[in-house]
Each structure stands twice: as C-alpha cells, then as structure tokens.
C-alpha cells in the first residue's frame, strides 16, 4: 500500500463485508422459514437469493427469515421491503423465481405482478 487511495480501495471492499453489522441496509428480503416453508423448498430459495446477491455484489440488502405467515399453500414465501414502497409478498418462490425477483425487482425496481400474493 503506497497511498491513501490504496487504503480507500481496501476499505470500500472490506465495508461490504462488515456492512451487515451497521444496520444501515435499506432493502430487506425476508424468507418464510416455518416448517411449511422449509418443506416447500425455502432453504433452496434462500441459498439462491444469497448466491444471486453475491454475484451482483448487492451488499446493501439484508436477508432475514421469518416464521409461518399462515399461507402455507403459497410457500416458499418471500417478502421484499424497499424504503418508501409498500411491502410486496411473493408466493411459491422457487429457485428460478427467486433469481428473477432479484434481477427485476431488487435491481431494476420492477415488481413481478403475477407472483404477488399480497402487499402491506
């Protein structure tokens, strides 16, 4: 390291790794992880979401889980929460759907209407 610029570069990269502890992330993805969700494949959905976020370097998105929402036949259920927008709940989020939700909704801001099962 020979300059402040070099330090800045390391800092930017390292910050992506520790950002989760700052609580500053704006966008949230919540995956239903009740027994029903897990049975319907929510674990795979989760893995795909993390994989997709990692590939796209989307480090300012928090991913958390929640319990059963009482809509077991719609599992795996994924909620997307973007500040100043209604919370969108997607149903039957397979691995493939999860990838598309990240690409369309999280990255481009276009909700995928046909999979939406609720808003809050």
| Residue numbers at the binding site for another protein (CB under 8 A) | 1-4, 7, 10-11, 13-18, 20-23, 25, 30, 33-34, 38, 43, 46-47, 50-51, 53-54, 57-59, 62-67
Closer CB to another protein, 59 or 100, in the complex: 59
We find the least distance from the C-beta atom of residue 46 to another protein, in angstroms, to be 7
Closer CB to another protein, 21 or 114, in the complex: 21
We find the least distance from the C-beta atom of residue 8 to another protein, in angstroms, to be 9
Tell me the C-alpha distance between 83 and 10, whole Å.
Answer: 29
Q: Are strands 61-66 and 78-81 parallel, antiparallel or unpaired?
A: unpaired
Residue 96's alpha-carbon distances to 1, 37, 41, 45, 48, in angstroms, are 42, 16, 12, 8, 8
Collapsing DSSP states into helix, strand and coil, what is residue 58? coil
We find the least distance from the C-beta atom of residue 104 to another protein, in angstroms, to be 19
Residue 11 burial (CB count, 10 A): 10
């Amino acid at each position: 390291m020979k300059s402040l610029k070099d330090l800045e570069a390391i800092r930017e990269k390292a910050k992506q790794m520790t950002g989760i502890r700052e609580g500053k992330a704006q966008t949230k993805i919540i995956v239903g992880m009740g027994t029903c969700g897990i049975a319907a494949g929510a674990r795979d959905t989760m893995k795909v979401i993390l994989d997709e976020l990692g590939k796209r370097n989307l480090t300012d998105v928090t991913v958390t889980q929640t319990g059963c929402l009482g809509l077991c036949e719609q599992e795996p259920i994924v909620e997307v929460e973007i500040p100043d927008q209604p919370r969108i709940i997607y149903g039957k989020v397979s691995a493939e759907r999860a990838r598309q939700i990240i690409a369309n909704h999280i990255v481009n801001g276009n909700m995928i209407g046909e999979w939406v099962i609720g808003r809050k």
